[in-house]
Structure formats: C-alpha cells, structure tokens
Chain A
C-alpha cells in the first residue's frame, strides 16, 4: 500500500529559526513529490520535485528530493510568523494519484 509519512507532526520554533521538515514515501510507479502549504483553508502549491539532488528554491524556502532513499526535505530559513501553517507532502504516481502525508503543523512564535 502506498504511503507518505511526514515528520515531525508538529513543530514550534521562534521567529528567525531555520526549520527542516521531512517526508518519506513509498509510492508505486513514483513520478514526483509535491509540497503544499495550508494555512486556514486551501492548500497552496510550493514545489514539485521529479529529479534527485536538484534543489528547488523560492525565497526562504527550498526543497530537495532523494529518490534512492525515498525522502524529501523542505527547509525554511529565517522563519517568520507568516510561515505558520500545515505543510503537506504528497507523492504522485501518475496524474490522478496523489498520496498525501499527514502534514506537519509548524508554529512560529514571535
């Protein structure tokens, strides 16, 4: 059975800290790994990773995929209170089959 496991499930840090969120996956016919940020409502897309070892960056956020070890990390540097959210990781096997992890709830305290 396909599964995606995120850790930690919850994380509380101070503003300015750097955080690393983890995502391990076992997905049949794996195609890509996606990260989403969910604040109050709709998850919003952050990154899609298809190749190992190639870092994707967007401002203070970056992510990388290791297809040999079947995991991905999401890094956030110089965290701000606006980074507080649930971060979702999903493994894609084909176009219609995204398998989501449980999410990591990140809280940034001022």
Chain B
C-alpha cells in the first residue's frame, strides 16, 4: 500500500521554465491538497480539490495551477517558474467530511518534492 506518492522528488529549474508535479494516492480519498513548506513558515496551502474534476485556491495560489482529472491523481503546475517558488512541495489527501471516521482533517502526506528555481 503506497499511500501518497509524489514525483519527481527533486528538480532544478531555470527561471521561466515550466514543470508539473504529480501526486498519486491509492487510498480512495476524496480530498487532495498541495502545500509548500518554507523555513520558518510552516506548511501553506496552495490549492486543493474536494473531488474529481474540482479544484479550489488555497492560501498561496499565485503562480500555480492544478488539475484533478482522475480521483487518484492531483497535478501541480508551474507555468513560468520564479526563484520565489523554490520550496519543498507536499501533496496530501484525506477522506471527505461525511466519512465515518470523520477524518477529513487527518491528512496523509507524500514524501515531498524539493524544487529549486535558479
């Protein structure tokens, strides 16, 4: 049981380049999230999805786009990378509000993707 898998684990980009981070979960979770983690700032929500075909903005969405074409996958795109987007990116997933375990707030995280923009 893999849980939440992120690819790639590391990437170096030049300013202006584009890339996509892929997140896959095998737990049949409804909700999926993308966070970024920067020193001294904790985890900040970029975008999230409450189901296949739906996405919504989080706390720091500028410069990023997302898509959830399949329930198990959540893609994070950078169209024109900037040095300010150098960070560690975490994908997470959870059950929905109606789940019997009431686990909508209990997130399962991926291992992270370290992105450096030069």
Contact = CB atoms under 8 A, between A and B. Distances in A.
Interface of A: 4, 9, 31-32, 34, 41-45, 48, 88, 90, 92, 95-98, 100-103
Contacts, number: 57
Interface in B24-60: 31, 33, 35, 40-45, 48, 50, 56, 58
A43 B43 CA distance: 10
Given A43-B90, A88-B42, A88-B43, A96 B106 contact: no
B105 A32 contact: yes
Interface of B: 4, 31, 33, 35, 40-45, 48, 50, 56, 58, 90, 94, 96-97, 104-112
B111 A100 contact: no
A90 B42 CA distance: 10
Given A95-B97, A96-B50, A96-B56, A45 B42 contact: no
